[in-house]
């Protein structure tokens, strides 16, 4: 399932974000050093943010730290809409065929209009679902929480795991360091 989601809908390598919030710099730096030593974790997957990064002059750095795969985001937007739009069209076609074969009077009386309406609405709902997936509301909440923590003087260790094993290892590491742990879906 993870493979289908990652290769089908998302264009990013790191779909999940895991964040540990710390009250002081030394704990955050120690956790970052241990995170870099996790199996398969590349240096670019570990980002340490401090209170200075919440300032206006550092906003570009803040955004790139939490969402480093800008090109992947555009791939996600395109893929999510394409896959869900096509899936909506196929489901709409199947619904139309089922209704037509069952002899529904409204469908049988004007099959072309029924086909256009059913398949058109199904594609529309598929595209709306693609938009919801592309918006990533789970990321918005995480970014807001990290920004608030940084503004209040805390430190954030942002990890970008690329698979389920790295995600679990990252969560275990942050839990062991007594950090407040946040993650996306």
Q: Which residues pair with 68 in a beta bridge?
A: none
- Phi and psi at 125, nearest 5°, equal -65, -35
Scanning the structure block, which residue is given the tokens 């398949």?
119
pLDDT for 1 = 45
The model's pTM? 0.68
pLDDT for 10 = 61
Listed residue (16, 1, 18) closest to 69, CA to CA: 16
- What is the three-class DSSP state of 182? strand
Find out whether 169 and 161 touch, Cβ atoms under 8 Å. yes
Q: Which residues pair with 157 in a beta bridge?
A: 20, 48
Listed residue (182, 133, 135, 113) closest to 154, CA to CA: 182
One digit per residue, the tens of pLDDT, for the chain of length 185 reads 454 455 555 655 566 788 889 888 888 888 888 888 888 888 778 888 888 877 655 555 555 566 655 666 777 788 889 989 999 999 999 999 999 999 999 999 999 999 999 999 999 999 999 898 887 777 778 788 888 888 888 998 888 887 778 888 888 888 888 788 887 77
Find out whether 46 and 157 touch, Cβ atoms under 8 Å. yes
CA 148, 164, 38, 44 dihedral sign is negative
pLDDT for 129 = 93
pLDDT for 12 = 56
CB atoms within 10 A of CB 152: 11
């Amino acid at each position: 399932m993870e493979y289908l989601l990652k290769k089908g809908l998302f264009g990013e390598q790191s779909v999940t974000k895991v964040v540990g919030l710390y009250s002081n710099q030394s704990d955050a730096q120690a956790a970052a050093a241990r995170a870099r030593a996790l199996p398969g974790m590349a240096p670019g997957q570990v980002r340490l943010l401090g209170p200075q990064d919440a300032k206006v002059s550092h906003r570009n750095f803040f955004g790139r730290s939490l969402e480093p795969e800008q090109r992947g985001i555009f791939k996600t937007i395109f893929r999510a809409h394409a896959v869900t739009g096509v899936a909506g069209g196929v489901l709409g076609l199947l619904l139309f065929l089922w209704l037509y074969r069952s002899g529904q009077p409204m469908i049988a009386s004007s099959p072309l209009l029924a086909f256009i309406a059913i398949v058109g609405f199904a594609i529309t709902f598929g595209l709306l679902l693609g938009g919801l997936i592309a918006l990533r509301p789970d990321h918005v909440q995480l970014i807001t929480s990290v920004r608030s923590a940084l503004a209040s003087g805390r430190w954030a260790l942002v990890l970008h795991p690329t698979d389920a094993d790295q995600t679990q290892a990252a969560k275990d590491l942050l839990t062991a360091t007594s950090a407040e742990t946040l993650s996306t879906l």
